[in-house]
Structure 1
Amino acid sequence: MSKTIFRRLGLAAMTGAALVMAGCAATPFRADVARFQTQLPAPQGQSFAIEANDPALQGGIEFGQYATLVAGELTRYGYRPAAPGEKADMVVRMDYGIDKGRERVVSSPGFGNPWYGGYYGRGFYSPPVIVRGPRGRRYIYGWRDPFMWGGFGPSWGYNDVESFTVYTSDLNLQISRAADGYRLFEGHAQAQSRDNDLTQIVPNLVEAMFTNFPGNSGERVRITVAPPEKK
């Protein structure tokens, strides 16, 4: 096989990798949502008030911003915010949070070696050597292809192993009758993401929570929220 063909194969592999990475930038937000209900009234203009489960969040500007999103969704379904001084028919309690994250490792084999993964497979000659590169990436060298080595210089295959942090976020929502505290609805939405920016994550969790609200009681569903540029 000519040197030109090898170069074309390498260029095609790198182009494919670039397309994969570009596609990740527009990845939709996905959340697992579980909802339970008992006697949530059909929406006929019943009033509601939103409170924080954590008293430390009550009255906070950030909490108020997310509470406004929840209020907008409930209003869209036919309920209404209680007027100042009015005793609400329902009390909506919410909390949200995100963990400290955990490391995940993903392997993308063979972009540097067109023979990798084919007839010769990995580890044909020498054992791999792991070298940590920029942005947490680790490159595994040492899977030598005898055809590329003989005649074209030290051309080594590699396996691109990328390590990154995954964060788990969640949103909890409870709706109760204000008169006696009877629980009408419980919802839990959870998602994983590459960043921990709650200002972007919580709005997506709220949208997932209220997709096909109130849902089927006891059912856990995967909700996909389109990226902003596709909404």
Structure 2
Amino acid sequence: MNIDRWTRRIALLFVALTALLSGCTTYVTTQVTAFSAWSGSDATRTYAFTRRDDQQNNLELSAYERIVANELAVHSFREVARNDARYLVELAYGIRSDIVTVAEPVYYNPWPGPYWGRRPFDPWGPWGPFPATYVNQSYPVFTHLLGVRITERASGNEVYNVTARNFGGESSLVRAMPYLARSALADFPLANGAVHTVKIPAGGAGPGVNEVSLPAATPGGASAPAAASGAKAGQ
């Protein structure tokens, strides 16, 4: 899956701004785009995963399929043998890295220790009496991607295709995948051409104001971490 040039620039700008406020971030924010011709019912939501020939023994893909299966089960999908399935589900995933450079302020305070920055001993406070100078700091930024494509097994027609994308300092796609999977399938099925944002509490943070909690993961698939136990979405 390709990220166009403007999307990358916007993403890097977003991360540059949030890097200065890293201590305040409490959500994993994921952009979700869906294309849909969905007309299925709960009674017909049987599926099997499908793979290319070169993916048959891919252990990484197996792990991601279990995470996605867990989220599909929330929406009444039931995994069965391929010949018994109405739908085939295919995954695409990836991670890429970029470097973002941020100009960060550095303050000079000539007041001697041990009372530097401590009022009333230091009349200038922690910022000092001189204007800030700026030093460029570089940070790695990672883009995580998950695509879920659903086709009818009998006809081969594509009925649902959703992509989830998020950005941040997490270098592991494995750790990002539960958030991607839950975001991709939030509010299933989305309208054709829908683009929205899903926010999931990170690091065990509780639900936020006006948050829509996603259903708890069901047995039978790989459980998402506690950090992905709730989400809120906005158009």
Question: Could you state the TM-score of these two structures normalised by the residue count of structure 2?
Answer: 0.64
Question: In structure 1, how many angstroms separate the alpha carbons of the residues matched to 2:45 and 2:22?
Answer: 47
Is the counterpart of residue 200 in structure 1 residue 160 in structure 2? no
Question: In structure 2, how many angstroms separate the alpha carbons of the residues matched to 1:180 and 1:21?
Answer: 48
1:107-126 aligned within 5 A: 107-109=103-105, 112-113=107-108
Q: Which runs of no fewer than 5 residues in structure 2 stay unpaired?
A: 1-19, 110-123, 206-226, 228-235
The structural deviation recorded for 1:199 is 0.8
The amino acid of 2:142's aligned partner reads Y
Aligned to 2:47: 48
Question: Per-residue displacement from partner, 1:54-88 (whole Å, max 9, x unpaired)?
Answer: 543333222111101111111111120004x7421
- List 4+ stretches of structure 1 deviating above 6 A: none
Q: Which runs of no fewer than 5 residues in structure 1 stay unpaired?
A: 1-18, 115-147, 149-153
After superposition, the CA RMSD in angstroms is 2.8
The amino acid of 1:163's aligned partner reads S
1:59-138 aligned within 5 A: 59-83=57-81, 86-99=83-96, 101-109=97-105, 112-113=107-108
Aligned to 1:224: 199
Identity %: 21
Q: Alignment length, in residue pairs?
A: 171
Question: In structure 1, how many angstroms separate the alpha carbons of the residues matched to 2:154 and 2:41?
Answer: 17
The amino acid of 1:35's aligned partner reads A
Larger Rg belongs to = 1
Question: Per-residue displacement from partner, 1:5-62 (whole Å, max 9, x unpaired)?
Answer: xxxxxxxxxxxxxx955335xx42111110111134022253100123x543333222
Q: Which moved more, 1:203-212 or 1:40-49?
A: 40-49
1:149-164 aligned within 5 A: 157-164=132-139
